[in-house]
Amino acid sequence: MNWDIIEGNWKQAKGKFKEQWGKLTDDDFDTIQGHREQLSGKIQERYGITKDDAEKQIKEWQDRASDDWFR
């Protein structure tokens, strides 16, 4: 799925992100506001992983994302 779609539907996407990355707080999501780079940074911070690992996880999540999530 294109990241622009995710960013444009951020409120709906937050629930799916919370399922994947439960350590992220509501304040984190308010800060991220759909920006992929900020999401990556918060995942790194909360999970103690490298930027490459965070980006890999985001890419895998994005590949599984479905248009049905935003209907």
Burial 17-40 (b: 16+ CB within 10 A, else e): beeebeebeeebbeebebeeeebb
Q: pLDDT digits over 12-66, tens only?
A: 888 889 999 999 999 999 999 999 999 999 999 999 999 999 999 999 998 888 7
Looking at residue 11, what DSSP letter applies?
Answer: H
